[in-house]
A and B are shown apart, each in its own frame.
Chain A
Amino acid sequence: EAGVAQSPRYKIIEKRQSVAFWCNPISGHATLYWYQQILGQGPKLLIQFQNNGVVDDSQLPKDRFSAERLKGVDSTLKIQPAKLEDSAVYLCASSPTLDYGYTFGSGTRLTVV
């Protein structure tokens, strides 16, 4: 089966600019996750979708981060305005509903300068 697709692979922006990341999960996977991975750390959950509804966004900095999952398939994560500390790899993952084992995409490496 095709994996989780993410784009772009890399992005460099200046602080206070906006940026958006895109994710296409594995076909049929109802649950989609966005994780932030700062260099040298484990991934940290930002938001979890079940179909097109948000299940958990308690760790999402909502003053600057937003995410949506149109029609329960693709998802976009946006940062506006970006801060230096947002530099990280943003990972998207998906899993079947009530099943186990995420599949991760390769991530988008964001550098804020």
Chain B
Amino acid sequence: GESVGLHLPTLSVQEGDNSIINCAYSNSASDYFIWYKQESGKGPQFIIDIRSNMDKRQGQRVTVLLNKTVKHLSLQIAATQPGDSAVYFCAENISPQGAQKLVFGQGTRLTINP
């Protein structure tokens, strides 16, 4: 069915450590994936995206890995900072033709410990 899920609902890491947030998706036809960050009281904020013809993409302190064989997506955050504390969602575009339609997972709450 159309679903995107996350393996862990919560994740705590020490400030300065690296964190990895995982996501499983079910639609083999999805062509585009996005990670969003949502802070309390705010709407989801775009972090990084990746298209299905890629397996890795890097941004500033963030890396997204895509494994289409097992339909798995991960977000790596390097040298975590207190400001990284938030809920992280993965989303997949299930409408490769025409205007995109994103389906979101349940989210992982990342807590950075000082």
Contact = CB atoms under 8 A, between A and B. Distances in A.
Contacts of B101: 45, 48, 56
Given A100-B32, A100-B49, A45 B43 contact: no
Interface stretch (A14-22, A77-85, A104-112): A104-112
B43 A107 contact: yes
A103 B49 CA distance: 13
Interface in A25-44: 30-31, 35, 40-44
A4 B43 CA distance: 10
Interface residues of A, number: 28
Contacts of A42: 4, 89, 91, 104-107
B42 interface: yes
A44 B105 CA distance: 9
A71 B23 CA distance: 38
Given A41-B106, A104-B45, A106-B42, A95 B93 contact: no
A30 B100 CA distance: 12
A31 B100 CA distance: 9
A6 B78 CA distance: 33
Given A55-B99, A106-B41, A100 B93 contact: yes
A45 B102 contact: yes
A103 to B, nearest CB: 7
Contact of A45 (B32, B49, B103): B103
Given A41-B106, A102-B34, A104-B44, 6 more contacts: A40-B107, A42-B91, A42-B105, A45-B101, A95-B99, A102-B100
* 7 closest A-B pairs by CB: A104-B43, A42-B104, A31-B99, A43-B104, A106-B43, A104-B44, A42-B106
